[in-house]
Structure 1
Amino acid sequence: MSKDDLVRLRHMMDAAKEAVELAAGKSRHDIANERTLNLSLVRLIEVIGEAANRVSSTCRAKYPGIPWLQIIGMRNRLIHGYNDIDFDILYQTIS
């Protein structure tokens, strides 16, 4: 595994851990209605997706159990559909 892949995987793990910590004890309602919280969570998921997109195809192939395309797709949906975020999906993803 390349150094770049290791860095990107670390970014994914760090952002995921932070998202889980921020959402701990929060309801779907909290995530939808606490502006600072939902902006933070959306940003962390964007970071995860962007890092996943930059992981080499060789590395991705070694970990077929990771839903790479779904992770990247969610990032794309959040970036391009910024005005239409489905908080049910956001909540399920982080939970």
Structure 2
Amino acid sequence: MSDGPDAVLVAEILDATERVAAYIAGEGRDGFMQQGIIYDAVCMNLLRIGECARFLSDPFRGRLPQVPWPDIISLRHRVAHGYETLKPEVLWRIASVNLPELGDILRRLGDA
């Protein structure tokens, strides 16, 4: 990947995915569900990811059609404006399955 605004945003997204992985690694699903601080930390990084995704260029997002960019951006809005309506089970799946997949896709792009 070249330098520029998209590269900076991708680095931010990768940092956020790695932070989430670290937060949930030690405590697992139960810790995520029971410890508000882990839940809140994951939500904060979902905000970061969605905000960065929103500012990625259309050509960059077009290079990764398998990534559900609109869903990622929409989740940012749900976390920010509908926090009380979030479903912890859905957020757990995103944190434990979808974010590692996103991180892998972005890292492979950087290797290309």
Does the TM-score normalized on the shorter chain lie above 0.5? yes
Once residues 27 and 80 of structure 2 are traced to their aligned partners in structure 1, the CA distance between those partners, rounded to angstroms, is 23
2:49 maps to 1:30: no
Quick check: 1:32–1:38 contact (8 Å CA) kept in 2? yes
Deviation at 1:94, TM superposition (A): 0.8
Offset at residue 32 of structure 1 (A) = 2.4
Determine the C-alpha separation between the residues in 1 that align with 2:22 and 2:37.
Answer: 14
Q: How many residues align?
A: 95
Structure 2 unaligned blocks of 5 or more: 97-112
SS of the residue 1:63 aligns to: coil
Which residue of structure 2 aligns with residue 44 of structure 1?
Answer: 45
Asked whether the 8 Å contact 1:28–1:87 carries over to 2, the reply is: no
Task: List aligned pairs for 1:1-95, cutoff 5 A.
Answer: 3-95=4-96
Identity over aligned pairs, percent = 26
CA RMSD of aligned residues (A): 1.4
The letter for the 1-side match of 2:69 is W
- In the TM superposition, what is the alpha-carbon distance from 1:25 to its structure 2 partner? 4.2
Secondary structure at 2:11 match in 1: helix
| TM-score (ref. length: structure 2) | 0.78
> TM-score, normalization: structure 1?
0.91
Letter of the aligned partner of 1:10 in structure 2? A
**Structure with higher helix content:** 2
Which runs of no fewer than 5 residues in structure 1 stay unpaired?
none
